[in-house]
Structure 1
Amino acid sequence: MGLFDSLRSILGTSAEADATRAADPEDLFGMSTAYLTMEADLGFPSAGEAALCFSNVDSTDFASTVDEVEAILDAGQEETGTDHWRHSDDYGYHWFVLSDSDPEDLVTSVHFAADEFVERGYGSRLLAALFAFERGDAGEGEYVYWVYSFRRGAYYPFAPTGTSSRDSKQEFKLQSVLDGELAVEDDESYWYPLWPDRAGAHPWE
């Protein structure tokens, strides 16, 4: 299953029917303490990057919403130094990518961006928020992620080992340590892979 297939599943009929509740950006704040556990207990420090993935709507109002989200991130950048940029992938999905050495700033910025989508009536267009961590046991340039699914209102771990394979053992370890600290998706069929286009890259690159 490629990136397009996995995101299509998140947006698809089954995911829509099985959605547990509406998108709630407040859930993102769970990552504010989880990143400490990831580094202290598991040896996975924050990679200093996070991303918000969303699908487009062909309307001037939605375009205005996206511009407003970018304006909010611009304002936040002046206070926190969190860099950000927009990216559109080859599958037609859109990303706000954020970079900051302080993971708390990343969480706050992703929350502000997601909250604006919800406030403007476009919470249904939010797909996922990804928080990247360096995978020290696998060498430089390898990452694990905590993915927040807005459809399911829950997090799940994702540990890609290439463009089409994942380390399930590592994912279950992350689940066992962080379950309770994060609202972890207990149905593993919803742990959608978000494959990078090349080994060692992020899904949004």
Structure 2
Amino acid sequence: MGIFDTIREVLGMRAEADSMRAADPDDLFGMSTAYLTMEADLGFEPSAEAALCFAGVDNTDFADTVREVDDILHAGKEETGTDVSFQKDGHGYEWVVLEDDDPEDLVTSIHFAADTFIERDYGSRLLAAVFGFEKDGQSAYWIYSFRRGAYYPFAPKGSKEHDSSVEFKLESVLDGELELEPQKEYWYPLWPSSPGRHPWE
């Protein structure tokens, strides 16, 4: 099975069919308190970046939806100062990438973007929301899977390796504060293009 098939299966089609519960974009607001726990209890500081991953559709209505998301986020920049950009990764997936020193602004902006896709009937195209953290050169992420309606941790280490001890530590500390994915086979690693980069790069 190739990487494209794997990501579609884990974050996509199979997961959509057997997901434990429907995704709720309001789950994203759990990160508003989780980032405080990450910093106070685990020493991981927010990286000032977050991103929303989605699978595009080649039609005019979807293009209009993406423009609407762009317009909403750029309009909000005057109040929040959140920078926004759109990128496409090497697997063909698209990302709304946000940068802001205030983690709560990132959470709010990610929620606005996700909610807009859902209101325009493209919720099924949402794959994941990704929130970045750093500690002593170690990157860690909380990934919210829209197909599973749950969060899971991801701590990349080197090339195509992940630090399971860090991931399990994050799981144990944030269990109860975030809606966590209990089935480890759905903890899909979103590998960056090269070590030291973010999954959306």
Question: Is 1:186 aligned to residue 190 of structure 2?
Answer: no
The answer as to whether partners of 1:2 and 1:195 remain within 8 angstroms in 2 is no
- Judging changes above 3 Å, is the alpha-carbon distance between structure 1 residues 3 and 129 closer, same or farther for their aligned structure 2 residues? farther
Report the identity percentage.
68
| TM-fit CA distance, 1:23 | 3.1
Question: Is 1:202 aligned to residue 198 of structure 2?
Answer: yes
The answer as to whether partners of 2:49 and 2:106 remain within 8 angstroms in 1 is yes
**Cα distance in 2 for residues equivalent to 1:10 and 1:54:** 14
**Cα distance in 2 for residues equivalent to 1:5 and 1:145:** 23
| TM-fit CA distance, 1:20 | 2.6
Describe the SS at the equivalent of 1:50: strand
Give the corresponding residue for 1:166: 162
- Judging changes above 3 Å, is the alpha-carbon distance between structure 1 residues 170 and 156 closer, same or farther for their aligned structure 2 residues? same
Question: Is 1:150 aligned to residue 146 of structure 2?
Answer: yes
- Judging changes above 3 Å, is the alpha-carbon distance between structure 1 residues 100 and 54 closer, same or farther for their aligned structure 2 residues? same
State TM-score, norm by structure 2.
0.95
Give the corresponding residue for 1:125: 125
Query: Where does the alignment leave 5 or more consecutive residues of structure 1 unmatched?
Result: none
Q: Which has the larger displacement, 161-170 or 172-181?
A: 161-170
What do you get for the CA RMSD once the two structures are aligned? 1.5
| TM-fit CA distance, 1:14 | 2.1
- Judging changes above 3 Å, is the alpha-carbon distance between structure 1 residues 2 and 171 closer, same or farther for their aligned structure 2 residues? farther
**Cα distance in 2 for residues equivalent to 1:126 and 1:114:** 7
| TM-fit CA distance, 1:5 | 4.9
The answer as to whether partners of 1:52 and 1:129 remain within 8 angstroms in 2 is yes
**Cα distance in 1 for residues equivalent to 2:3 and 2:84:** 22
- Judging changes above 3 Å, is the alpha-carbon distance between structure 1 residues 182 and 3 closer, same or farther for their aligned structure 2 residues? farther
Describe the SS at the equivalent of 1:97: strand
Pairwise mapping of residues 1-205 of structure 1 onto structure 2 (< 5 A)? 4-136=4-136, 139=137, 142-205=138-201
**Cα distance in 2 for residues equivalent to 1:183 and 1:145:** 15
| TM-fit CA distance, 1:12 | 4.2
The answer as to whether partners of 1:49 and 1:106 remain within 8 angstroms in 2 is yes
Aligned length: 201
State TM-score, norm by structure 1.
0.94
**Cα distance in 1 for residues equivalent to 2:132 and 2:6:** 18
